[in-house]
Chains A and B, each alone.
Chain A
Amino acid sequence: MEAGILTIGALAPILVVLAFILPLLGIFIKRKIFFHAYAVVVTALIAAATTYNLIVVWREGPQLYAFGGWPPPLGISYEVDALGAVLGALTAWVMLFIAIYSRWYMDKETGIPYYYTLLLGLEAGLIGCIYTGDVFNLFVMLEVLSISAYGLVGFHRGRAEAVEAAVKYGIIGAAATTVYFIALVFIYGSYGTLNMADLAIKARVMAVATPFSGGYYGNIAVAAALAVALSLWVFTYKSALFPNHFWLPDAHPEAPTPVSAALSGLVVNIGAYAVMRFLYTMFGSNSVLTVAKYPFRDIILWALLILGIVSGLVGALMMIVQEDIKRLLAYSTVSHIGLVFMGLSLGFSTVPLAATQEALTASLYHLINHSVGKALLFMAAGIFIGIAGTRKLDGLAGSGRKAPLATAAFFIGFLQLMGLPPLGGFFSKFLLYSAFMEAGMPIVAVLVVIISAISVLGYAKAMYSVWFRPSAKEFENVTGITLPTAVVLLLAVACVGLGIAAPYLTSALSTTIANSLMSKGVLSYIQAFLKTINYLSPP
């Protein structure tokens, strides 16, 4: 077994070690530049490793790493298919930009080692959640991710609002992950396994002999329904889908700006990714959830579709009335995650498979566009907040004129999320629109357009404030913003690239979805699992 497999298994544990050694190093090393360099080097290495994994998975299909040499499902295994590889590489690259940006943003702050501990811990949780092939390990990684996120939201611990937002996010978040644990107990009690590939086999009642996982207990359809219902609440909470979005507009703005970029751009992806894993890989269209007397999977997908629409509308409408630029961006996240959930819920049994594949592709494409665009917007907003010294749109008026390059990037980010043709956001929204048309749901397709149209008002307000609106006071000329400007410009180039490469990207992402979530992809996911069992278990 080649090195590709090692970079899958070792990534999350190594990241955890590298993150939690930092407070110890902080005792001996006082120079801030060391920690900045450390974080950039570590995130760059992770970005290289995830890109390597993406190439390996793209060429050779799903890769599995079994920890400790235990044949799955006995031990924990990490399994990466095309979807996980794409999202892992996206996470690592955006995180690299965030780490570089932190060099500028966090330089005035104290407690740098702790900040990077939490940031790298967050990345470990993100990579672990995406790469894991075990639902219980997903719980553990979700907790790693969540605790880092709570800590980062409350990082400015002297600020009353930050601590309040962190405690609000933390208490409900801890309750949510415990509910996910209860869902896992139902899965284990009924299926006798926690491995995702094994669950995919067992939920489809396939006649495959897996030597270690045993039989079923109780009513598997009811257990699956209970587990999916409980865990979906958790995932929609983590990705801030309406009505579970209440924590996000408080938590994301209160975090330090690079962290807002990570939370809004990357952490919300995890919920959408986990829903895809649960409803397509494990309990897919031919599983017990559909075969049962009641079409439970269809009901869930309909509910997600409706919540996605409501979330898109609520986010877009709330954006218009915001006075705080970071809150505005946070509501935009709610709106976009609604669009993503609309796409991934188009998997009912009545919808043709081609439309499902197109909608999932649109969903994944939009996740990528949103991650890059939202990270860019938060980081650019951080520059203007630095100039004006306030987050209020009134106070920011005209601040963009002191940093024209950053403003250019800021505009490209907004146009990306708005969906202007040469940029990526347009193509993913258009793909979503045409998928709904193909599925015979023109009303929902029109709603995609309406959500985008409403959100334009909010974006226009922010763009107007930063550049066109005359400033109330004279801002001092700023120096030392070369680094953050370079970062946001690079991300702006990425936005343009995501749009220009649209024809190629659409087909590549469509292949990604076909190779991971459609029936062929699930089969290859299962085959990689069976191959590893044969390889590891003695004859």
Chain B
Amino acid sequence: MIDVNAFLFSVLVFSLIMNLGISLYGIFWRPSLVKKIIALTILGDTANVLAIVVGYRAWIAPNRPPIPPVLTTWKPTATDLSKFSSLAVDPLPQALVLTAVVIGLAVTVFLVFLTIQVYRLHGTTDVRKIAKLKG
């Protein structure tokens, strides 16, 4: 009997490392600016998935998933709070990812515009040719 969870987890870790390698290769060695930007978004997404994995909380029991981090009692007592913290998911990694996604969008849009401008001025997005044109 295969442990499905352990198997899936190792697939996840493997794919994260692969993605990291592919994106760094793309950013540093691919000559096309467009492909560099695509690799950059892959790197950003890898970092985001990593953050989400860190915030993952295993199920407390086979039929009891963790609860959303929302306190539903109006005046919680100490027992309420400790019960809540033993069940709830940590919301912070998701908040971090949300911020990082927004920032990543802004940076990507900016770089795409710069690339368009490079294409207008140089007629190519190949960094080797651009370096040669400059002389």
Contact = CB atoms under 8 A, between A and B. Distances in A.
A409 B93 CA distance: 51
Contacts of A161: 134
Contacts of A179: 43, 47
B111 A170 contact: yes
Contacts of A323: none
B114 A174 contact: no
Given A167-B114, A171-B111, A174-B111, A160 B40 contact: no
Contacts, number: 89
A147 B47 contact: no
Nearest to A150: B110
A171 B37 contact: yes
Interface stretch (B7-15, B61-69, B72-80, B98-106): B98-106
B75 to A, nearest CB: 13
B88 interface: no
A260 B122 CA distance: 24
A336 B95 CA distance: 39
Tier of interface size on chain A: 20 to 34
B107 interface: yes
Interface stretch (A184-192, A357-365, A502-510): A184-192
A164 interface: yes
Nearest to A167: B114
Interface centre among A157, A164, A170, A172 (most CB of B within 10 A): A164
Interface string A175-215: 10111011011001100001000000000000000000000
B33 A171 contact: yes
Nearest to B111: A170
A154 B134 CA distance: 16
Contact of A178 (B43, B99, B130): B43
A478 to B, nearest CB: 30
B4 interface: no
Interface residues of B, number: 35
Given A164-B130, A164-B134, A178-B44, A185 B54 contact: yes
A477 B108 CA distance: 46
A430 B93 CA distance: 47
B108 to A, nearest CB: 8
A432 B127 CA distance: 41
Given A147-B106, A150-B110, A151-B110, A167 B115 contact: yes
Given A143-B103, A171-B33, A182 B111 contact: no
Interface string A272-298: 000000000000000000000000000
A101 interface: no
A170 B43 contact: no
Contacts of A181: 47, 51, 96, 100
Interface of A: 136, 139-140, 143, 146-147, 150-151, 154, 157-158, 160-161, 163-164, 166-168, 170-172, 174-175, 177-179, 181-182, 184-185, 188-189, 194
Which 3 pairs across A and B sit closest by C-beta, in order of nearness? Answer: A189-B54, A160-B121, A167-B114
